[in-house]
Amino acid sequence: MRTYQVRTYGCQMNVHDSERLSGLLEDAGYVPAPDGETADVVVFNTCAVRENADNRLYGNLGHLRPAKVKNPDMQIAVGGCLAQKDQGEIVRKAPWVDVVFGTHNIGSLPVLLERARIAGEAQVELKESLEVFPSTLPTKRESPYAAWVSVSVGCNNTCTFCIVPALRGKEKDRRPGDVLAEVQALVQQGVLEVTLLGQNVNTYGVEFGDRLAFGKLLRACGDIEGLERVRFTSPHPAAFTDDVIAAMAETPNVMHQLHMPLQSGSDRVLKAMRRSYRAERYLGIIERVRAAMPDAAISTDIIVGFPGETEEDFQATLDVVRQSRFANAFTFQYSIRPGTPAATMADQVPKGVVQERYERLVALQEEISWEENKKQVGRTLEVLVAEGEGRKDEATRRLSGRAADNRLVHFAVGDETPRPGDMVTVEVTYAAPHHLVADRALGLRRTRAGDAWQARQGAPAQAKGVSLGMPSIGRPAPLPVEPSGCAVTS
């Protein structure tokens, strides 16, 4: 049987699309390539948000060229946002690529691979609009205990730095019943945590005329027995409504964790970005979230060095960061993306200035993150165990997982070793800027999610000690992806 490998770049939306690509390929008879071996079919699921996305893709394609020369039957496919943007340019620059497909036709991949094999020439197929909602496609999920669930695709905003609306199209919403049916099916398979995905997740409902639809969807998730953790990413501050805050506060399995992109704290820059909110509104949302949920952990995205950004503008961003007290922030240096309005704006900020501001922002946020994490010391947390070993030291064996507020926790293993998907109760003993450490394991709750993980390993699940009162969903181990539906564009 032919083997495959999918390489993913970019945001969670791309990660979820790659799960569908893997599902499609396995449905067509392909099998995953063993670790360390070059696959018969290598698929690149690309991102186009920042400048180095192009360089990374063509560099990786160049590295594969010798393998392709050695094995002419090997096939290389390129999909995702960069494919939608560059289209036929990819085959011109890398003529050893066999298939190029876009964001709207990922379901075509197996057919295009077969067509390229028979025809002996590259196949390029890019649809201009979505024909079938991707969630109808077969999916091979990376985690048996946590899952992404798309509520919408596309974006109706016109942010001047962002090319994604041109590549993913206008927002398309799924019906609530379809979303909830998928969540219910996942829970029956052992999943304990779902993350609802959308480019602008809180505008969900725009297609069917219900602007309160997202809050209602969160509350409906609270009625699904066995679903322990619900998250969502990413909301747009301009569309963030109080009914969503109420749904988060009043629905027990919706986590008190919010990722809400800021991008800039300067009203002048926000206007140039076409971000339809200002700093006062953003801070007002945070104030209301914390009034309803004092324990809420809030994270964000920030762009440094947008065209025309002055030192005064940058200071305004630092002021908002100080007031917001983010648990963490994903910070980006602005890079020109051809095809966006910002690419041709005057007053592009010199790279040296951008770098210096970026370092100041990172230093400030590191200080705040550490201070906020120190507040967790002494607290008792329930942690969803992730796959992979945790932080290592000579004296203690540790595993890793996520607390309810999504903080990363490295915890000491007790007498019983938990499985990925199980829940452990721990006491936090140390805080670092980006993680917590727990030297005391207070309890272990085995779950159906842990059973599902164990079944994947080919071993029978151990029923002893399993608690099914509310199986717990866990987030996968930290992924090398951007934090939100489209991190710097949400």
Which segments are annotated as binding site for [4Fe-4S] cluster? Answer: 11, 47, 81, 155, 159, 162
Q: Which two tokens stand for residue 154?
A: 């596309």
278, amino acid identity = R
Q: Which two tokens stand for residue 109?
A: 């991949």
Residue 43 is inside which H or E element, if any?
strand 41-46
SS3 385: strand
The span from the CA of 377 to the CA of 391, in Å, is 18
Q: With beta carbons less than 8 A apart as the criterion, state whether 432 and 370 touch.
A: yes
The span from the CA of 469 to the CA of 227, in Å, is 10
Question: E-assigned strands of 390-451?
Answer: 398-402, 408-412, 423-427, 430-431, 436-438, 440-445
Q: Which two tokens stand for residue 208?
A: 């069917």
Cα angle 11, 13, 17; round to 5: 120
CA atoms within 13 A on the CB side of 403: 26
The span from the CA of 311 to the CA of 349, in Å, is 11
- CB burial of residue 360 (10 Å; 0-12, 13-18, 19+): middle
The span from the CA of 79 to the CA of 33, in Å, is 19
398, amino acid identity = R
- Closest C-alpha to 126, from 61, 80, 60, 74: 80
DSSP string, 388-402: EE----SS--EEEEE
Quick one: CA dihedral 56, 58, 60, 63, positive or negative?
Answer: negative
Per the annotation, where are the binding residues?
11, 47, 81, 155, 159, 162
Residue 270 is inside which H or E element, if any?
helix 267-273
DSSP 222: T
- CB burial of residue 318 (10 Å; 0-12, 13-18, 19+): middle
Q: Which two tokens stand for residue 147?
A: 């899952």
Q: With beta carbons less than 8 A apart as the criterion, state whether 443 and 465 touch.
A: no
Alpha-carbon separation of residue 212 from 248, 277, 307, 460 (angstroms): 13, 19, 35, 44
- Closest C-alpha to 192, from 487, 483, 475, 1: 475
Quick one: CA dihedral 136, 140, 146, 150, positive or negative?
Answer: negative
